[in-house]
Amino acid sequence: MKVPFGTITIDQKAKDLVNEALNTGRVSNGKFVRQFEERFAKLVNAKEAIAVSSGTDADVLALAVLYDLGAKRGDEVIVPSLSFVATGNAVLHAGFKPVFVDVELETLNIDSAKIEAAITPQTRAIMPVHLMGKPAKMDVIMQIAKKHNLVVVEDAAEAHGAMYKGKNVGEWGDMAAYSVYLAHIITTVEGGVVTTNREDFAEILRSLRCHGRACKCKVCVVNTSNSYCAKRFAQGKDIRFIFERVGYSSKMNELEAAVGLSSLDMYQQIIDKRHHNLITMIDRLKEFDQYLMTIHEEKDERIGPHAFPMIVKKGAPFTRDELVDFLDKHEIDTRDLFSSMPTQCPGFDYLGHQLGDFPNAEYAGNNGLHIGVHQDIHQEHIDYVMATIRDFIKSKVR
């Protein structure tokens, strides 16, 4: 039996919308992108949603808003040491210095008790990551941010549908960055979204995604209806060629948004199935509690069901890589549980961190893996995964 890590569901509506865009010739940022933004914002209870080309760009652009608030290049952004490398890369691409904080092994999220010690006069923001869809402790993080006058950008790339203490993930911070990559619950194949309740931030973000242009209306009449724009020459020069800030080329296109609109139609069905799969796997893994650990859903939260993480415990008679190899031989697709960015990703060596500086992130990086919980996984797949793990452990325990 094959158990793939990810899947994508593309229905007839998506195909029809893609063909409509192709037939009209409007394939760049247009009416479908705007419809996707409106529906995404409503779903996550945000006033504004700005669609961009990737989840990484969503992080980058959200952080780049800090320059309009007075930040300088080289200022600092606090991030967890364990995440997909895009989190740390985004800080650098935005022109800031990542300041890493170790994670809690039980939650895989930033250890909020260690954040304040990392704050310096150059700190401008905190970017917590809701890893694997498990919500970070946003109430504590927001208290720290308020005390030190810091912006909070939630990296919610994997956390569609996650909730913490009665609020959606993404509602806590000043902005939230989502990925809508093909393996995620909501997908545009490639893409990202930044959400915010601040209209001024939304305007800046629309400028940033298109080279820093002064052209940043919420609804572009030219792109959505091919109508005359009264603002175009209001400043005496074509507003599309007035650049107010250093920007990026990060627009979502109409074909991607078409897939996204269809994905939103299927959202509840998909997330319910994925959440059921995740909770079932968490419960079933208790059989192997002596050797493997995972995250748990607490009473005051709902995990956004991105994937199912497992970490090999200390003292187990096998390694993560041995388990991964066995699963792979039995056609169960896996991914490593990321890495400690500052000490296990060579690109960050220049920051001068040493192995041992982030022990929990490093342990997860060496001993963690994750497998899919997507909508094409059914009970027989879960049974097969657990039976395969059982067979592996029996082969190692004598």
Given the residues 93, 130, 160, 184, the one annotated as active site:
184
DSSP β-ladder status, 123-126 and 76-80: parallel
User: Which residue, chain included where needed, has tokens 């792109």?
Assistant: 223
Q: Cα dihedral sign for 30, 36, 40, 46?
A: positive
For residues 248 and 211, the answer to whether their CB atoms sit within 8 Å is: yes
Strand-pair category, 123-126 with 151-155: parallel
Q: Distance between CA atoms of 65 and 205, rounded to whole angstroms?
A: 7
Any alpha helices (H) in 209-346, and if so which ranges? 221-225, 254-265, 267-284, 320-329, 341-344
CB atoms within 10 A of CB 227: 10
Per DSSP, 26 falls in state -
Task: Work out whether strand 339-340 and strand 123-126 pair parallel, antiparallel, or are unpaired.
Answer: unpaired
Helices 254-265 & 31-43, crossing angle to 10 degrees?
A: 40
Specify whether the CB–CB gap between 244 and 210 falls below 8 A: no
Nearest to 196 by CA among 396, 47, 23: 47
- Rounded to whole angstroms, the Cα distance separating 110 from 122 reads 20
Could you tell me which residues come within 8 angstroms of residue 268 by beta carbon, excluding any fewer than 6 positions away? Answer: none
Sheet (strand 167-168) strand order: 167-168, 163-164, 301-302
Q: Which residues contact 19 (CB under 8 A, 6 or more apart)?
A: none
Would you call 184 a catalytic residue per the annotation?
A: yes
* Beta pairing partners, 243: 213
Angle separating helix axes 12-24 and 254-265, nearest 10 degrees = 150
For residue 126, the surrounding DSSP H or E stretch is strand 123-126
**Residue positions annotated with a catalytic role:** 184
